[in-house]
Structure 1
Amino acid sequence: MPGPRTWLRDLVFGVRLARTGGREGWTRTLLTAFGVGLGVLLMLCAASVPSLLDARTAREEARQASNASSEVPASRSHHSFLHLDTSTVFRGDTVSGELIQPDGAQAPPPPGVRSIPGPGEMIVSPALRDLLHSAAGALLRDRIGYRDVGTVTQAGLAQPGELLYYAGSSSLSPDRGALRSDGYGHTAAEEPLNPMFLVLITLVCVVLLVPVIIFIATAVRFGGDRQDRRLAALRLLGVDARGVRRIASGESLVAAVCGLAVGAVLFAALRVYAGAFRLWGVSAFPSDVAPVPGLAVATLLAVPAAAVLATQIALRSVTAEPLSVARLAGTRSRRLAWRLVMPIVGTVLLLAVHTVSPKDSSMSPLPVAFGAACILIGLTGLLPWLVEVVVARLGAGPVSWQLAVRRLQLDSGFVTRPLTGVTVAVAGAIALQMALGGMQEQFRHLSGSPGSHARHADMTVYLPYADQRLVRRLSTGLEHTKGVTGVLGLTETYVSRSDAAAGMPALTSLTVADCATLRELAALPSCHDGDTFVARAPGHSAVNRQVTATAVPGGQLALGAGPDSGAHPRLWRLPASVPRVTSHPDPMGEYHHGVLATPGALDPKGLPAADTSVSITTDSRVADAAEYARNTVARTDPAARIVTLLKEDRDKQYTSVKTGILIASVATLAVIAASMLVSAVEQLRARRRMLSVLVAFGTRRRTLALSVLWQTGLPVVLGTALATAGGLGLGVLVLRVVAKPVQQWSAFVPFAATGALSVLVITLCTLPPLFRLMRPEGLQTE
């Protein structure tokens, strides 16, 4: 058993051999370094994600107002200020905004801002300024009508492309939703990640990193056949077979170290342009893209170790004798049993994971990660066996077919080795697309109502106070807004019987709106300003009992007497002759039971614990109808919060994620296809003498070109079939974990097509060197 000193000596000798191998040796080293460098680049990018997210989170927390409250007017000081969130949405993109009104001259500005802007002025992010000054931002300019007086620097931005502004005001009040603070730097309690996102993120990491690791292990074998013959000559020097493998590992070690350097250089070059790239709506500052030290060190150590291990495993099937080399391929068939272990283990792990729900905070990503990794890595062992079994049963056909089949029967490893990365990448991409297709439905319909019907509103405006005059102005403005077809405004709070026992109040809701609106909420016999009604909801017996117990004709009610009401609620007496009516769903699909009152019966101004909402229905045929409605709302009251019925932003993010994964997967396939091309060219160069002999004996060049196509195409077809089966199976298992049905059985189509296209491109690219290698000069030998 060789000791550490023997290993070190042979590795050093292999390093020296790589350095003194002439142009051929350096060519192989550079090819390997380039391939390894691409993998290192991807690993360094992955290692930078935690630091990128930490830096982004730190800046977001640094600009959050601290000690924010609307209940402590006594805290006003020279250091305090009022602020109001005025964020909006413009064509699916969030525009973050905040109004600020200082209480004194020493009020601090937000991070990234030199001073608080004056009333009517704003300080904007560079991305928002570019949007406002563009033709596409005309509607947004109407909504954000402040004068641009400065720029938010990096310290105040979560990302380079963030749309953000701070505007000054002189009319903010805690009674109108504003909060008072005395500084910035609030650290919010960390919310648990949605387990569905956790499963998705885990799957993304596994799918992107496993092919990279396999790709690196494959890249260190570029030009392996030529290396085998070179190392065979070492036997003349008395080196045993194990020593030859150790020396070969030294050569691969040089290429791996050079690959680390290449990857580091590529990473440093691309890092400068990090702000120019935007993936899934997220961009990054170059200073944020820094690998986590622990992960960077792990990459630094893992790549050379993987190179040495891959070389040792690859050379176990090679018998190197003096001036000759023989491969063991074909002397014994590959066994299937041990190749099924990892896929079976991965399947069992995923089946053992309990079904998770959106509120399940105990979800652990480790079983999902290990299960998916086992299935994907297991495909690398199944592919060589599948190719060997299939080609062993192929027989007669054209000459080109027979040449290709015989070559694959003798040794299929030269094709399947680089193809394993493609198989894993395709399988992972298919599983990701299936998982996204199933999960997307969950987030697309989050805010839909089970009782909804054809009169659905598209968005709702919420105000944290009661103001019927504002509701009328807002409703009138919206009714005259382009693209708006329906408006429904109302004010709601709770009421309880003032004589109810303490701790057990009879409680129901109170809705104040004009007659036209109340007719949309219930079937009214007649209605005039000053009328009051008691509404019961059909099919809700428990709710109706609560309404009956609370809304007693002639009884006294405590207004705003909900769970958050004060100690001395405002009192109001229900008329003695109040009609009872039946409610029906509003445009949001909700029932409004309890007391229904017109403004003449009860003035909603100053109503305790009240909220005002205005439902808006838009015409989908009018472009930017939602943007026109948002502009009207912003002009009426900047404090209004608009919520869309469908989560368009999340749906847009999921569409972006699917597109991003498609692009990333195709890019990974392109990189691995490049390695296949290099491997194919190396194989042709190793066989140039045989090709020249075949041409000399009258074999047509077209026949040899077709044989190269069959040699590449057959394994790729089998690999694509295996990847499709593995990807679909993994996708089904992941969707089982999140209890979602399969929505996209056709997810494999684009990736299978990409694999087939890569075969055609690789074959076409190998034709020029193939024709050059068929020349008579290839018959020369020494």
Structure 2
Amino acid sequence: MSARQWTRDLAMGARFAVTGGREAWVRVMLTAVGVGLGVALLLLTTALPSALASRHDRESARSDITYSATVKKKSDRTLIVAHTDTTFRDEDVRGRLVRPEGPRAPLPPGVSAFPAPGDMVVSPALDRLLKSPDGRLLRERLGYRVTGTIADAGLVGPHELAYYAGSKNLPATGVGTGRVERIDTFGSPGQSEPMDPVLVLLVLIVFVVLLMPVGVFIAAAVRFGGERRDRRLAALRLVGADGRMTRRIAAGEALAGALLGLVLGAGFFLAGRQVAGLIMVFRISVFPADLDPSPALVALVAVTVPSAAVAVTLLALRGVVIEPLGVVRTARPSRRRLWWRLLLPLGGLAMLYPMIGQGRSNGNFNQYLVIGGVLLLLVGITALLPWVVEAVVARLNSGGVAWQLAVRRLQLSSGSAARLVNGIAVAVAGAIALQMLFAGVDDDYTKIGKEDLTRAQMSVAVPDGVSSATAVRRLSGTKGVTHLTALARTDVGDGRDEPENSTTATVGDCAALRETAVLPSCRDGDIFVVENASWDTSTAKLDKAGTRLWFDPSYGSSSKGEEIAWTVPKGVKPAGLRKDPSGSELGGFLFTPGALPGRAGSVARTTVYVQLDPSVPDVLESVRNSAARIGPLADATVWTATTQSQKFTSIRTGLSVGAACVLVLIGASLLISQLEQLRERKKLLSALVAFGTRRRTLSMSVLWQTAIPIALGLGLAAVVGLTLGTVLLKMTGTSVSVDWASVLSMTGIGAGVVLLVTLLSLPPLIRLMRPDGLRTE
């Protein structure tokens, strides 16, 4: 068969698709919209790596952490920058205080000029929040005058909350603490750590599971209008076309719809890209310009989608005999065979089997085997579901009129019914497997907090130069604060510089010290010692009367020469060990304020532990505002029972964003498929109404026609999803456990999407159920 004849027949089919009148255009547009939605999501997926890379590049370009143990020398090119990040109602706010030390100090990306002391430049999103009524508490906390905005180059996303504020009294002595840095350039010199094998596996599975339903929907979309197309092909046979030619013409019709779908998909993607800058999904937002798919990937989509349309059409017509007087499909179809359908999931399991037990200690998983195995398992659903639907509906007989109408329709066209639910079944199976995998490895990336949430729910790290009494006074009047515990700590050692032995010195009143040790009795002026902390090997050596020690030994730092001498007195009382509210064992010397020598209080760093009344509205924001009044470098931290790996959380967030997009595609494609099938049954529905069938009966029959395949598809999806999830857990070396709540929720979401689509299709169904639908021209 020559390429010229193929081209001629495909072109003829394309002409039939666009010149066949209103009926042909409706069919082509249904196909194009279905394909276009899938193409738009494929383009979005191909653009995600570019968007994430752009976010990472901007984040690296504005990095102001030196990762250096040595402090840069002051010059006309240096800048003092302090981290003043905060949180407002679960939204992170990136904050920086800056003080240029010379005319050539580096400007942060996206900032045209340094803000003057007391002024700040803000991101557009933060500007909108501060101007809104909801931003009242945050306005009180920041307290700077807004004089400009940060350009896109200085933000990771359009909805990021960020600001740079000017300061005239940022102390250079704080450099090196991790919160205050002296830099001469912005940009990260470090490299990110590679992800461990299990996280790489999660990324691979997420992409396969999210893209597989898209491919299934595109394959289903190019088969819209199949029954009417077959009748046209029979007419072509009548005028002299042979069987192969009619199949190529049919492929040309599908090709026309796919090509138009590419155009619509590009339009949907461009429109969605502009909308992307206006919305935030699961706290992720991107600039429209970031969604720039790779030309190579775009070319791959542009070639693959039309090719798949031709291949799917030819494959679908392989078992259809088209004769000049009709299509043999209207006769009872031959029974589907099961054996070859089972080969697909079995082949997938065979590809995944060699990696069972590999875990994260034996290198990365073979990505080709992972992708191939998961694809075969999910494709196996699309192969098994038509057989399952046919086998089940063949045994369904007795029932009401609506039930019998639905069952008979399914018995005649079980393949069409299965195609309608293939995508949702694949999506649910993949989601169940991913939920099992995420739940199984969750403990590996989640740490249980050691803080005692019954004794405090927040901590406030007080900046240098602020006394414990001042900090407590500022926090004590905060509405919702029920109790405060202030503990100041510093080091004490047996040498001014690089002491051989050192331990912790803790300062607080008697009530505060009882939160970190078991005291025999206490009054102001007492000194205690705790020698049995698990980490402590030095306190017993230092706890000798007459021993000369130094507070805040310099360890070669810039504070050399400022150490405070102290001689251990007689009568230091032994105390028992107790973990403080943060869960730490401190040990060392404990001082009441009256026993603290001279200037020792000025070198101790204070932490205030805060107990809250959770019933008070915005109590967290009130404490953060009070902490900001202590000083801009005060750090208020909310304690949580668990903390999770940021990379693991990012992957889970990416899954949530992708799943939301796929659900939208599922709903839209199912609705289009349902409308297309109703359109093909227009005359049948009108005939039944003309013969006196109640509309309620017909509506229920349509509902049953959807519900039966969906129930079977979701059942098969649950089996395949549980199997895939079990294999993936065994691959990661994790004990197998089924989160039945997640399984049921994923299945319920799939059923809910289908129910919503069915309800949306009822109004068009009612319009189609009119006797005048029998009219023809």
Q: TM-score range by the shorter chain?
A: 0.7 to 0.9
1:651 to partner: Cα distance: 11
Equivalent position to 1:531, from 526, 530, 546: 526
Report if aligned partners of 2:338, 2:384 keep a CA contact under 8 Å in 1.
yes
1:87-486 residue pairs with structure 2 within 5 A? 87-177=85-175, 178-193=180-195, 198-327=200-329, 330-347=332-349, 352-354=355-357, 362=364, 369-432=371-434, 446=447, 448-449=449-450, 453=452, 455-462=454-461, 467=465, 469-486=466-483
Report if aligned partners of 2:448, 2:643 keep a CA contact under 8 Å in 1.
no
1:41 to partner: Cα distance: 1.0
- Name the CA shift for 1:599/1:732 in 2 (closer, same or farther; >3 Å): farther
- Name the CA shift for 1:489/1:776 in 2 (closer, same or farther; >3 Å): closer
CA distance in 1, matches of 2:441, 2:115: 43
Report if aligned partners of 1:68, 1:180 keep a CA contact under 8 Å in 2.
no
Report the equivalent of 1:626: 620
- Which range moved further: 184-193 or 84-93? 184-193
1:191-230 deviation per Cα after TM superposition (whole angstroms, max 9, x unaligned) = 3347666555444433321111110111001101111121
Report if aligned partners of 1:70, 1:179 keep a CA contact under 8 Å in 2.
no
Are 2:585 and 1:591 aligned? yes
CA distance in 2, matches of 1:581, 1:649: 32
Report if aligned partners of 2:489, 2:504 keep a CA contact under 8 Å in 1.
yes
CA distance in 2, matches of 1:182, 1:389: 73
Q: Secondary structure at the match of 1:520?
A: coil
Gaps of 5+ in 2: none
Q: Secondary structure at the match of 1:270?
A: helix
Report if aligned partners of 1:491, 1:604 keep a CA contact under 8 Å in 2.
no
1:314 to partner: Cα distance: 0.8
- Name the CA shift for 1:604/1:101 in 2 (closer, same or farther; >3 Å): farther
Report the equivalent of 1:548: 540
Report if aligned partners of 1:488, 1:517 keep a CA contact under 8 Å in 2.
yes
- Which range moved further: 243-252 or 219-228? 243-252
CA distance in 1, matches of 2:528, 2:195: 45
CA distance in 1, matches of 2:118, 2:57: 30
Provide the aligned C-alpha RMSD in A.
3.8
Q: Secondary structure at the match of 1:527?
A: coil
Report if aligned partners of 1:556, 1:573 keep a CA contact under 8 Å in 2.
yes
1:107 to partner: Cα distance: 2.4
Q: Secondary structure at the match of 1:486?
A: strand
1:85 to partner: Cα distance: 0.9
- What amino acid is aligned across from residue 637 of structure 1 in structure 2? G
- Name the CA shift for 1:208/1:662 in 2 (closer, same or farther; >3 Å): closer
Q: Secondary structure at the match of 1:272?
A: helix
- What amino acid is aligned across from residue 415 of structure 2 in structure 1? G
Report the equivalent of 2:640: 646
Report if aligned partners of 1:64, 1:186 keep a CA contact under 8 Å in 2.
yes
Are 2:6 and 1:7 aligned? yes
- Name the CA shift for 1:454/1:304 in 2 (closer, same or farther; >3 Å): closer
- Name the CA shift for 1:55/1:387 in 2 (closer, same or farther; >3 Å): same
CA distance in 1, matches of 2:621, 2:14: 65
Report if aligned partners of 2:690, 2:771 keep a CA contact under 8 Å in 1.
no
Q: Secondary structure at the match of 1:118?
A: coil
- What amino acid is aligned across from residue 50 of structure 1 in structure 2? P
CA distance in 2, matches of 1:363, 1:456: 45
Report the equivalent of 2:83: 85
Are 2:507 and 1:512 aligned? yes
Q: Secondary structure at the match of 1:428?
A: helix
- What amino acid is aligned across from residue 147 of structure 2 in structure 1? V
CA distance in 1, matches of 2:453, 2:106: 50
1:437 to partner: Cα distance: 6.0
Q: Secondary structure at the match of 2:263?
A: helix
Gaps of 5+ in 1: none
- Which range moved further: 721-730 or 129-138? 721-730
- Name the CA shift for 1:627/1:78 in 2 (closer, same or farther; >3 Å): same
Percent sequence identity over aligned pairs: 41
1:116 to partner: Cα distance: 0.6
Q: Secondary structure at the match of 1:720?
A: helix
Report the equivalent of 2:44: 45
- What amino acid is aligned across from residue 170 of structure 1 in structure 2? K
- Name the CA shift for 1:218/1:70 in 2 (closer, same or farther; >3 Å): same
Report if aligned partners of 2:77, 2:102 keep a CA contact under 8 Å in 1.
yes
Q: Secondary structure at the match of 2:447?
A: coil
Q: Secondary structure at the match of 1:295?
A: helix
- Which range moved further: 177-186 or 409-418? 177-186
Report if aligned partners of 2:356, 2:727 keep a CA contact under 8 Å in 1.
no
Report the equivalent of 2:56: 57
TM-score (norm 1): 0.87
- Name the CA shift for 1:403/1:575 in 2 (closer, same or farther; >3 Å): same
- Which range moved further: 695-704 or 609-618? 695-704
Q: Secondary structure at the match of 1:11?
A: helix
Are 2:690 and 1:675 aligned? no
- Which range moved further: 518-527 or 491-500? 491-500
Report the equivalent of 2:572: 578
1:722-733 residue pairs with structure 2 within 5 A? 722-731=716-725
TM-score (norm 2): 0.87
- Which range moved further: 119-128 or 509-518? 509-518
1:344-382 deviation per Cα after TM superposition (whole angstroms, max 9, x unaligned) = 44456666355757x999577666554443332221112
CA distance in 1, matches of 2:548, 2:348: 66
1:11-62 deviation per Cα after TM superposition (whole angstroms, max 9, x unaligned) = 2332333343333222211211111111111111111111111222222222
CA distance in 2, matches of 1:546, 1:589: 21
1:531 to partner: Cα distance: 3.4
1:510 to partner: Cα distance: 3.5
1:458-513 deviation per Cα after TM superposition (whole angstroms, max 9, x unaligned) = 12233575x5x52321122222222222322333345555699x99x555443333
- Which range moved further: 16-25 or 64-73? 64-73
1:172 to partner: Cα distance: 0.9
Report if aligned partners of 1:236, 1:322 keep a CA contact under 8 Å in 2.
yes
- Name the CA shift for 1:636/1:349 in 2 (closer, same or farther; >3 Å): farther
1:648-663 residue pairs with structure 2 within 5 A? 663=660
Report if aligned partners of 1:356, 1:738 keep a CA contact under 8 Å in 2.
yes
